[in-house]
Amino acid sequence: MLSPRALDYPGRRFPAHLRHVGPRLDDPAWAGELELPEGEAPLVLAGLSSSFMNQRTQLQRIAEALGTLPVRGLLTTGPAVDPATVRAPGNVLVTAAAPHNIALRHAAATITHAGHGTAVKSLAAGVPLVCVPLGRDQTAVARHVELAGAGITVSRNASPRTIARAVDRVLHQPSYRREARRLAAEIAAETATDRAVAELEALAGRATGRAEGALRCDPAEPSGPSPTLSN
Q: pLDDT tens digits, residue range 72-111?
A: 999 999 888 999 999 999 999 999 999 999 999 999 999 9
Higher pLDDT, 6 or 35: 35
What stretches of 97-137 show up as alpha helix (H) in DSSP? 100-103, 116-124
CA distance 46 to 94: 9
CA distance 70 to 68: 7
Kindly calculate the radius of gyration of the chain based on its CA atoms and give it in whole angstroms.
Answer: 25
Whether 174 shows a pLDDT value over 60: the answer reads yes
**In which domain, by residue range, is 165 found?**
5-28+43-190
CA distance 5 to 215: 39
Whether 185 shows a pLDDT value over 90: the answer reads yes
First to last CA, the chain: 64
Asked if the structure places residue 102 within a domain, the reply is yes
Q: At what angle do helices 174-190 and 116-124 cross, to 10 degrees?
A: 100
Please report the pLDDT score of residue 142 as a whole number: 95
CA distance 80 to 141: 22
CA distance 45 to 23: 20
Please report the pLDDT score of residue 230 as a whole number: 42
Instruction: Tell me which H or E stretch contains 72.
Output: strand 72-76
**For the residues 44-60, what does the mean pLDDT come to?**
88
Asked if the structure places residue 223 within a domain, the reply is no
Please report the pLDDT score of residue 199 as a whole number: 66
What are the residues whose beta carbons fall under 8 Å from the beta carbon of 214, sequence distance 6 or more?
Answer: none
Order of strands across the sheet that contains 92-95: 92-95, 72-76, 43-47, 107-112, 129-131, 151-153
Asked if the structure places residue 35 within a domain, the reply is no
Q: What's the CATH number where 13 sits? A: 3.40.50.2000
Give the least confident one: 1-5, 10-14, 126-130. Answer: 1-5
Residue 93, strand partner residues: 74
Contact at 8 Å (CB) between 153 and 114?
Answer: yes
Asked if the structure places residue 197 within a domain, the reply is no
**What is the total count of domains within the chain?**
1
SS3 108: strand
Asked if the structure places residue 22 within a domain, the reply is yes
Reported as a single tens digit per residue, the pLDDT across 196-217 is 666 677 667 766 766 666 666 6
Asked if the structure places residue 59 within a domain, the reply is yes
Asked if the structure places residue 113 within a domain, the reply is yes
Asked if the structure places residue 37 within a domain, the reply is no
Q: Name the pTM for this structure.
A: 0.76
